[in-house]
Amino acid sequence: MAMKEDEAEENGHKMAGELTPVPLITPYKMGKFQLFHRVVLAPLTRLRSFNCIPQPHATLYYSQRTTKGGLLISEATVISETAQGYPHTPGIWTKKQVEAWKPIVEAVHAKGGIFFCQIWHVGRVSNTDFQPNGQAPISSTDKPLKPRGGSSDIDVKFRPRRLETDEIPQIVNDFRMAARNAVEAGFDGVEIHGAHGYLLDQFLKDQVNDRTDKYGGTLENRCRFPLEVVDAVVDEIGADKVGIRLSPFANYSDAGDSNPEALGLYMVESLNKYGIQYCHMVEPRMKTMGEKGETTQSLLPMRKAFNGTFIVAGGYDREDGNKAIASHYADLVAYGRIFLANPDLPRRFELNAPLNKYNRGTFYIHDPVLGYTDYPFLESTT
Ligand SMILES: Cc1cc2nc3c(=O)[nH]c(=O)nc-3n(C[C@H](O)[C@H](O)[C@H](O)COP(=O)(O)O)c2cc1C
């Protein structure tokens, strides 16, 4: 007697001659974009863009991870001179950077991929070495990050400077220009990086934001600057080209919130007014960087409240990704570490093939090949 399809799925193999439905490998229409599957490349910083210029080796890296009708989100991309906090992260504020992105985006489009650029300001997750004229990094606050490694001294180079109220429109404008440049470079849209303790998150979260002006205090005030960025970017390139990433539950870089669910809900309800293409949220289980914890918290209330495409990320494998899609918990699932290590991840999910293991040791090295474009593809079976 033939096995039922769900049993075949559980047993992890396909029956000869029969197709096991794989929810992750089903089409989805994201506004004007026709996706052929639900497996999204999560944004992944790789520190291989020498001197903030995207490099030719990124063309191979992204094109390896491109499928027809697949959505890719670029690594976090620096929007201005003050926005950098790590070495060799790509930028999108100069003409040279825009030109350098063009062949990378073209290669993704040539294979039928849809490519969004994640636009990023690190705020206080920086230091004077990365800043123009050795100035202090900017933030919502003048509180520095807690020193790492048990030291109680705070090096003066890590002390942020609290932005003045009247400086905020300039940063909003930097996001606007970066979005315009991303479209000029050929990207299909931008993902505003509002997650993981970087500048926008430093305004959103009440454990960082200690302002007394219209950008601090109440939930509405804390969300004001990120929403001004959304407003400007939508105005510049159109809502159908705009997504945002949020991590209300995470506490990376000391950016936690006392009521993450209220924050997440307020943000998605506000985002509905702009009609943006997608909201990309990081799972509560990823509260601590790189670790998958147990939690009873869920993104479901935000998923239900948001009108556009809802993308989830954080610790997903094939099985729980399929469940998320089948149960309508999410429209799309973004994969980080396992997509980094499996350039043909959608195909492996379709075939239920084994995965390459990722090597943490090469995530952030500057090598143009090692741990970057040398992860093997499944051998062709034809
Ligand atoms: C090497 C590496 C680089 C990352 N860079 C970014 C980034 O640039 N922007 C971002 O929003 N998240 C970044 N993340 C987080 C991932 O996008 C993703 O949310 C996280 O890895 C959890 O998903 P996973 O369990 O599928 O890996 C990075 C993660 C890793 C491992």
Which residues, 6+ apart, have CB-to-CB distance to 86 below 8 Å?
Answer: 45, 47, 122, 130
For residues 190 and 277, give the distance between their C-alpha atoms in angstroms, rounded to a whole number.
10
Q: What average pLDDT does this structure show over 335-348?
A: 98
| C-beta of 127 in contact with ligand 1 (< 6 A) | no
* Mean pLDDT of all residues belonging to the chain: 93
What residue's CA is closest to ligand 1, atom 4? 44
Residue 109 phi/psi, 5° resolution?
A: -65, -35
- Reduce the DSSP state of residue 294 to 3 states and report it: coil
- Determine which residue's CA is closest to atom 10 belonging to ligand 1: 43
The pLDDT of residue 290 is 73
What percentage of the chain reaches a pLDDT higher than 90?
88
Q: Which residues are catalytic?
A: 198
Residue 282 CB less than 6 A away from ligand 1: yes
Q: How far apart are the first and last CA of the chain?
A: 29
pLDDT (average), residues 178-202: 98
- pLDDT digits over 294-304, tens only? 888 999 999 99
- Could you tell me the pTM of the whole model? 0.94
Using CB atoms within 10 Å of the CB of residue 309, give its burial: 0 to 12 exposed, 13 to 18 middle, 19+ buried: buried
Please tell me the number of Cα atoms within 13 Å of 36 on its side-chain side: 12
**What average pLDDT does range 327-337 have in this prediction?**
98
Per DSSP, the residues of 260-281 read HHHHHHHHHHHHHTTT-SEEEE
**What's the sign of the alpha-carbon dihedral 10, 12, 16, 20?**
positive
Nearest CA to ligand 1 atom 31: 337
Q: Which of 81-90, 148-157, 295-304 has the lowest mean pLDDT?
A: 148-157
Ligand 1 nearest-atom number relative to CA 337: 27
Mean pLDDT, range 20-24, rounded to an integer: 91
Q: What is the pLDDT of residue 336?
A: 98
Per-residue pLDDT tens digits for 108-122: 999 999 999 999 999
Q: What is the mean pLDDT of residues 171-182?
A: 98
Q: In the prediction, which pLDDT does 380 show?
A: 57
Range in 148-162, 207-221, 227-241 with the lowest mean pLDDT:
148-162
Contact 333, 317 (CB under 8 A): no
Say how far residue 349 (Cα) sits from the centre of its chain: 21
Q: What is the best residue among 24, 89, 337 to mutate for testing ligand 1's pocket, by most ligand atoms within 8 Å of CB?
A: 337
Q: How far is C-alpha 6 from the chain's CA centre?
A: 32
User: If you average pLDDT over residues 288-316, what whole number do you get?
Assistant: 91
With H, G, I as helix, E, B as strand and everything else as coil, classify residue 41: strand
Instruction: For ligand 1, say whether the CB of 76 is within 6 Å of any of its atoms.
Output: yes
